[in-house]
Chains A and B, each alone.
Chain A
Amino acid sequence: MSSVEDILAAENELTHLLGAQQAVVLSTRIRLARNLEGMPFPGWAKVPQRKEISDRCVEALDALPKFRRGHVLRMGELGDRDRAVLVERHLVSKELAAGKSGAAVISRDQTCSVMVNEEDHLRIQVVKAGWHLRGTWHIAEQLDDALGGSLKMAFSDRLGYLTACPTNVGTGLRASAMVHLPGLCLAGHMDKVSRALNQDGLAVRGWLGEGTEAAGNIFQISNQQTLGLSEEAILKHLGGWIKNVVEQEWNARRKLAQEEGEKFVDRLARSLGVLRSARLLTSSEAMNMLSHLRLACDMGCLPEERRHLVDRLMIEGQPAHVQARAGQELDSDGRDRRRAAVVREALKDFPELVSPTA
């Protein structure tokens, strides 16, 4: 069994240039909620029942080729910091990390992670860097089929896959895109876009999911309805809207660059200046300035191949990651100091910004 340190040390799509990083869409995620037939849902199950659920699910997952040489992590056996690292990497939810009886089975490449005993018995998650809705869906579908071969899932002809919460019943599918929208935020259009998405059945959340702020102009857009729509229809609906949002984001960026001229580049260049010389850097300050650097990479002000480094710093600049890298608990000032040092080091040979080409 491997540990959280191995996860941090390993190169993966989201932190290294392994997959194709893209402008605007950081990652695509598919989540399927599944439950074992005849067992109470985790929130209502007694401790021995939760243990039985966990054992059965982990055993079935561990046998799948997808998780060969992967990680089986039981929340009760991990320290606070390790659990926080997993949350920051989006490998597990805050809810799973908060309880003792949950487990996560994570594939070696970290694209698949299955949460056991979260709100449902099984939460299958697949994440790919960039915008790859079909590819991500196919991996999730295959995992679902494979798991269905060894575990009998709670299913009803009329209601589909049965879940603990009525908002997940049916397909159990939550498809989402993590999008970086500095153009729409700077132009002050984000509220309007959010409202339009909400009205058409899509949820807009901050970077760490439900109830979080949109640090670094990053938003998660996902379907809300899971019953009465086929998986195909849900994906198509989300896909259409993401395409639309990406287009609007590009329009906002081009308009800003055109209207602001030198001021546009100046704003982004100042962020690089601060990130390269600051001695203390808070998490939200770092996120917001790194957002500017990502925008600069997208717009051709910085070389595009630097984008993956910006993405990596966004993930590794989070509090638990900073402490895990330092190998010790740090107070708030200590974290800000350490974060500034990591960012300075990473950006030291970054070139100066040039005028936008995009």
Chain B
Amino acid sequence: MSQPIKCSLCEEAATVHLSQVVHGNVTKVHLCESCAQKGGATDPAVFQLADALTTASPAPTLTCPRCGFTDIDFRKRGRLGCPSCWGTFADALGGLLSKVQHEASHVGRAPAGVLPAGQLRRRLVDARCEMEKAIAAEDYESAARLRDEVAELEKQLIAS
């Protein structure tokens, strides 16, 4: 079965379906009962489809100073413009990341020479914890590998 069409303005199921032809372009909008009422869609004389659609996509509020990419571009493409966009849109992306990702901060590899002290410490804590677990589980092969990793991290932390 196909999914019910959702209202263009909120997440409710749409029951009012409108097509409007403006300068030869067909625009379609789907609305739920209450949004249709609010927008006056039940009275074609006063309803302006274009207005309903503009409310749904307002003017850009954020622009990346480095590449000119805006929040509207992101909404359209789902991709960012450049690495600096991650800083520009940090707040807006936070919510999205918490939905699609495991946690909001990186715990993996880093380019050689840029592993910062904070991350080193975090990895050190994780590695020690995993080592203890491995010992408890009598998985000595993993424990030995983790012991070497802990030693290496401690060395790097002193050097940093």
List chain A positions with a Cβ less than 8 A from chain B. 35, 37-41, 43-44, 119, 141, 144-145, 148-149, 152-162, 164-167, 169-171, 173, 201, 224-231, 233
Contacts and interface: CB of A to CB of B under 8 A. Distances in A.
A145 to B, nearest CB: 7
A267 B106 CA distance: 50
Contacts of A162: 83, 86
B102 A227 contact: yes
Interface string B74-118: 000111111100110000010011001111111111111010101
B80 A149 contact: no
Contact of A153 (B102, B108, B111, B116): B111
B67 interface: yes
Given A40-B67, A148-B111, A228 B83 contact: no
A170 B108 contact: yes
Contact of A171 (B69, B86, B108, B111): B108
B116 A157 contact: yes
Contacts of A169: 86, 97, 101, 106
B119 interface: yes
B97 A227 contact: yes
B111 A226 contact: no
Contacts of A43: 77, 79
A38, A44, A164, A231 pick with most chain B CB within 10 angstroms: A44
Contacts of B67: 40, 44
B139 interface: no
B101 A119 contact: no
B118 A228 contact: no
Nearest to A147: B111
A155 B108 contact: no
A164 B110 contact: no
B109 A171 contact: yes
B126 interface: yes
A152 B81 CA distance: 18
B107 A229 contact: yes
A233 B123 CA distance: 12
Contact of A230 (B80, B112, B126): B126
A225 B83 contact: no
Contacts of B83: 35, 37-39, 41, 154, 162
B105 A148 contact: no
Nearest to A232: B108
Contacts of A201: 102
Contacts of B87: 156
13 contacts: A38-B83, A39-B82, A41-B81, A149-B112, A162-B86, A165-B78, A166-B97, A170-B101, A170-B108, A227-B104, A227-B106, A228-B104, A230-B108
Contacts of B97: 166, 169, 227
Contacts of A228: 101-107
B110 A160 contact: yes
A307 to B, nearest CB: 31
A62 to B, nearest CB: 21
Given A162-B86, A226-B101, A228-B101, A44 B69 contact: yes
Contacts of A157: 106, 116, 118-119
Nearest to A171: B108
B105 A159 contact: yes
A41, A148, A171, A226 pick with most chain B CB within 10 angstroms: A41
Interface string B44-80: 0000000000000000000000010100010001111
B108 A231 contact: yes
Contacts of B110: 155, 160
A66 to B, nearest CB: 17
B74 to A, nearest CB: 9
B101 A40 contact: no
Nearest to B69: A44
Nearest to B146: A232
Given A166-B97, A169-B97, A227-B103, A44 B108 contact: no
